[in-house]
C-alpha cells in the first residue's frame, strides 16, 4: 500500500487531545508517583515468613495486593519463600483459569511509525527498516493462512502509529479478518477474536473501534518511570507524551472498551519499579472504573535490527528476576490474564507456565506479510525485534499436552456477555475457570481434528480424556449438554460454546 | 466514572424491573448486553458468580441491544412470550 505523508505533520499536531488527559488528573498529577514507589520498595525489605504467608493467602483468596504487599514480595530472596510464592502462583492460575493455556498469533499489519523510540526497530529514523502497510487483500491472505492452515482462532493485531493506519484502517482490517472463513479437514477455520495492539487514541476513535467488535485493546506503557520515559521517547513525538499514553485505558473504558491489556517493556528501567507501577495502574483502573486489566504482558527488551539500544541497556532483566516478576504479578493481580510471548526462549516459556501464565503465542511471524509469504527465516529489516521461539503451533501444543496442559482456542466470553465487570466478577470467584475448562475441551477437539499432526493428536487425546472426566465429576449440571456439543464437534460442527 | 453505553439509564431501569418479574414468574435469569459485531458486551443484570451455567439463549432486540436468558429455556412458548415482553424495552 502506498504511503501518503502529505498530511502527517498536521495529523501529529492534532493527535493529542489535552482535555482527554487533564480530566483524569488529580491535582494536575498522574497516578504514578515515582518517589512513593521507590520508597515502598526500599521500606519493605527483609521479608518475614509469616507476613509473606499472609500476603500469599490474600492472593489465594483472589484479592488484589496493595503496593506495600507487592513490594514485600518483590524483595523476597529466600529460595524457600520464593518456592512458596511460585506454588501459590500456579494454584491461583488453576483456580481462576483452570488447566488451560490460551494460544494466539501476532499479526503485524504495518511498520510505518511517526515515533522514534530508541529501542524500537520500527522507529522512523531507522533507515534499514523495509516499510510496508498491508492492503485489505493482503490482510485477508494473512488471516486465511492463520485460520485455515495453522488453525489459530485468536489474534493480536499490531499496528504502527501513523495516519495511514489510524482507526479507520484498523476498523477495516478487523472487518476483513472477521470475515475470513476457510474450509478445513473436517469443518472451517476462522478468526473469532481479534485483539488490538495499537497506539493510544482519542475517545471518539476508540468508540469507532468498539463498534466493530475489537477484543482486548492492548497498549503497553513501555516504562512507567517518568525520567526514563522521557529519555527513550523523544519529546517532539506523540509517544513522547507520557500522560497521553498513561491515560489511554481510561479513554478506552469511557469509550466502552472494557477489556484492556497493560504491559511493560522490561529492560528500560528498574524491573521492581516497573512491576510496582503496573500494579498501581491496575489499582487505578479498579478504583475508577471497577474493572481491572483483562491481561498483563511483560515483554523483555530483545535485539532489533540497527537498534544498538537493545543491546546496551543497563536494566536488562536476567532469567531469575524475570521468573520472579512473573510470580509477583500473578500474586498481585490474581484475576488477570498473563501473556508470555515467543520473544522468550522455549525454556523460559515452559518455566513460566508453572508460574501462572494464561496465554502464549505460537507459529509466530512478526514480519509484515510474513504468514502469506510463508517466510521461514526471521527477516530483521521487516521485524520490530527478533523472536526467541519460532516453533510451530503443533509443536507447542504437543509440548503442552506432554506437560498435562490443555490448549484452548476459546473466544466464547466476549460473545456471550462475559466482558468488563461481569468477567471480572466471574474471574474473582473462580466461576470463569469452569467455563474455561468446558470451552478449552470443545475448541481443542476442533483443533485436534482439523490441524494436529498424528503425534500431537496422540498426546492431545490423553489430555482431553482426562479433562472430560474432570468435567463429569465437577460439573454434573452441564455435563450432558457439554457432551452433546462435544459429539457435534466431532461430527464436524464448529464454534459451539458455553 | 462510567463506561459509555448507547443504552439509556431508563432502558436499564426498565430492564431490571422486567428481569425481576421474569425471574419470579419463570425462574429465568436475564442479562442485558450491548452488541458490537460478534461482541455481546455486558451492561446489566444477572451474573452467577458461584457456578457454571448452561449456554444462554440469545435474543437480539435491536442491532445494538440484546438479552441473554439463563435457565431452563426449552419451552418455546415461554421464550416467545418473554421475547415479546422484552421487545417493549427497545421501543
Render pLDDT for B23-51 as a digit per residue (tens, 0 to 9): 999 999 999 999 988 889 999 999 988 88
Select from A178, A255, A431 the Cβ nearest to the Cβ of B37.
Answer: A178
Q: pLDDT confidence of B72, banded at 50, 70, 90?
A: confident
pLDDT of residue A385: 84
Residues in chain A: 498
* Whole-number Å distance between alpha carbons of A446 and A240: 45
Select from B1, B5, B52 the Cβ nearest to the Cβ of A475.
Answer: B52
CATH code of the region A8-29+99-416: 3.20.20.70
Select from B1, B51, B68 the Cβ nearest to the Cβ of A417.
Answer: B68
**A474 Cβ contact list (under 8 Å, min separation 6):** A434
CA–CA min distance B1, chain A (Å): 6
What are the residues facing A339 on neighbouring strands?
A297, A359
pLDDT of residue A472: 97
pLDDT of residue B37: 84
Select from A178, A256, A481 the Cβ nearest to the Cβ of B3.
Answer: A256
Nearest CA in chain B to A24: B1
CB atoms B52 and A213 under 8 Å: no
* Whole-number Å distance between alpha carbons of A84 and A79: 9
Strand duo A260-263 + A188-189: pairing: unpaired
* Whole-number Å distance between alpha carbons of A376 and A396: 17
pLDDT of residue A421: 86
**B29 Cβ contact list (under 8 Å, min separation 6):** B19, B23, B45, B46, B48, B69, B70, B71
* Whole-number Å distance between alpha carbons of B88 and B82: 10
CB atoms B38 and A192 under 8 Å: yes
The whole-model pTM stands at 0.93
Tell me, yes or no, if A477 comes closer than 8 A to chain B by beta carbon: yes
| ipTM, 2 dp | 0.87
Domain locations in chain A as residue ranges = 8-29+99-416, 34-89, 431-490
**Largest Cα–Cα separation, chain B:** 41
The alpha-helical segments, DSSP class H, found in A99-202 are 136-144, 167-179
Render pLDDT for A457-476 as a digit per residue (tens, 0 to 9): 999 999 999 999 999 999 99
pLDDT of residue A356: 96
Reference A94, options A477, A406, A448, A351; nearest CA is: A406
* Whole-number Å distance between alpha carbons of A150 and A121: 27
Q: Is the pLDDT of residue B4 over 70?
A: no
* Whole-number Å distance between alpha carbons of A314 and A325: 18
HSE toward the beta carbon, residue A478, CA cutoff 13 A? 23
CB atoms A414 and B41 under 8 Å: yes
**Which residues does chain A have with pLDDT short of 50?**
none
pLDDT of residue B50: 84
Interface test with B, best of A284, A417, A473 (most B CBs within 10 A): A417
Tell me, yes or no, if A288 comes closer than 8 A to chain B by beta carbon: yes
pLDDT of residue A107: 98
CA–CA min distance B42, chain A (Å): 5
Tell me, yes or no, if B36 comes closer than 8 A to chain A by beta carbon: yes
Tell me, yes or no, if B75 comes closer than 8 A to chain A by beta carbon: no
Amino acid at each position: 500500500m502506498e504511503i501518503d505523508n502529505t498530511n502527517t505533520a498536521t495529523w501529529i499536531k492534532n493527535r493529542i487531545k489535552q482535555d482527554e488527559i487533564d480530566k483524569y488528573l488529580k491535582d494536575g498529577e498522574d497516578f504514578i508517583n515515582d518517589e512513593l514507589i521507590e520508597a515502598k520498595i526500599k521500606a519493605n525489605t527483609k521479608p518475614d515468613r509469616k507476613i509473606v504467608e499472609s500476603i500469599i493467602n490474600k492472593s489465594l483468596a483472589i484479592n488484589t495486593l496493595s503496593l506495600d504487599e507487592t513490594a514485600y514480595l518483590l524483595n523476597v530472596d529466600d529460595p524457600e519463600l520464593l518456592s512458596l510464592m511460585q506454588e501459590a502462583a500456579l494454584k491461583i492460575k488453576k483456580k481462576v483459569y483452570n488447566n488451560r493455556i490460551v494460544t494466539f498469533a501476532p499479526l503485524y499489519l504495518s511498520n510505518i511509525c511517526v515515533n522514534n523510540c530508541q529501542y524500537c526497530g520500527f522507529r522512523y529514523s531507522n533507515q534499514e527498516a523495509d516499510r510496508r502497510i498491508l492492503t485489505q487483500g493482503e490482510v485477508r491472505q494473512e488471516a486465511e493462512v492463520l485460520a485455515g492452515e495453522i488453525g489459530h482462532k485468536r489474534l493480536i493485531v499490531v499496528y504502527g502509529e501513523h495516519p495511514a493506519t489510524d482507526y479507520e484502517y484498523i476498523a477495516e482490517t478487523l472487518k476483513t479478518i472477521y470475515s475470513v472463513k476457510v474450509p478445513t479437514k473436517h469443518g472451517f477455520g476462522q478468526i473469532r477474536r481479534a485483539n488490538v495492539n495499537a497506539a493510544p487514541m482519542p475517545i471518539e476513535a476508540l468508540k469507532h473501534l468498539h463498534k466493530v467488535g475489537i477484543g482486548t485493546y492492548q497498549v503497553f506503557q513501555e516504562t512507567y518511570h517518568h525520567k526514563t520515559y522521557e529519555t527513550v521517547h523523544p519529546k517532539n513525538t506523540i509517544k513522547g507524551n507520557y500522560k497521553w499514553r498513561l491515560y489511554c485505558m481510561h479513554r478506552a473504558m469511557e469509550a466502552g472498551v472494557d477489556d484492556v491489556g497493560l504491559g511493560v517493556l522490561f529492560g528500560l528501567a528498574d524491573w521492581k519499579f516497573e512491576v510496582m507501577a503496573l500494579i498501581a495502574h491496575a489499582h487505578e483502573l479498579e478504583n475508577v472504573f471497577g474493572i481491572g486489566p483483562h491481561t498483563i504482558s511483560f515483554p523483555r527488551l530483545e535485539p532489533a535490527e540497527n537498534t544498538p539500544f537493545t543491546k546496551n541497556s543497563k536494566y536488562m532483566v536476567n532469567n531469575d528476576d524475570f521468573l520472579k516478576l512473573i510470580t509477583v504479578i500473578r500474586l498481585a493481580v490474581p484475576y488477570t490474564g498473563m501473556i508470555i510471548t515467543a520473544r522468550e526462549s522455549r525454556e523460559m516459556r515452559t518455566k513460566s507456565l508453572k508460574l501462572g501464565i494464561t496465554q502464549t503465542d505460537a507459529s509466530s511471524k512478526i514480519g509484515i506479510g510474513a504468514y502469506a509469504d510463508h517466510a521461514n527465516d526471521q527477516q530483521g529489516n521487516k521485524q520490530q525485534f527478533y523472536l526467541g521461539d519460532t516453533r510451530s503451533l503443533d509443536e507447542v501444543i504437543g509440548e503442552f499436552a506432554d506437560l498435562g496442559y490443555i490448549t484452548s482456542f476459546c473466544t466464547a466470553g466476549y460473545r456471550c456477555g462475559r466482558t468488563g465487570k461481569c468477567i471480572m466478577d466471574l474471574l474473582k470467584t473462580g466461576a470463569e475457570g469452569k467455563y474455561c475448562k468446558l470451552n478449552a475441551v470443545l475448541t481443542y477437539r476442533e483443533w485436534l481434528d482439523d490441524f494436529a499432526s498424528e503425534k500431537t493428536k496422540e498426546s492431545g487425546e490423553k489430555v482431553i480424556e482426562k479433562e472430560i472426566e474432570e468435567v463429569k465429576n465437577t460439573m454434573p449440571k452441564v455435563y450432558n449438554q457439554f457432551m452433546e456439543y462435544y459429539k457435534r464437534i466431532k461430527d464436524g460442527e464448529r464454534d459451539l460454546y458455553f | 466514572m462510567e463506561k459509555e453505553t448507547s443504552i439509556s439509564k431508563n432502558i436499564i431501569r426498565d430492564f431490571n424491573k422486567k428481569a425481576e418479574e421474569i425471574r419470579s414468574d419463570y425462574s429465568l435469569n436475564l442479562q442485558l448486553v450491548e452488541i458490537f459485531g460478534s461482541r455481546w458486551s455486558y451492561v446489566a443484570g444477572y451474573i452467577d458468580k458461584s457456578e457454571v451455567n448452561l449456554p444462554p439463549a440469545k435474543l437480539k432486540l435491536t442491532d445494538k441491544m440484546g438479552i441473554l436468558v439463563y435457565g431452563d429455556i426449552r419451552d418455546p412458548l415461554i421464550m416467545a412470550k418473554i421475547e415479546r415482553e422484552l421487545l417493549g424495552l427497545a421501543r
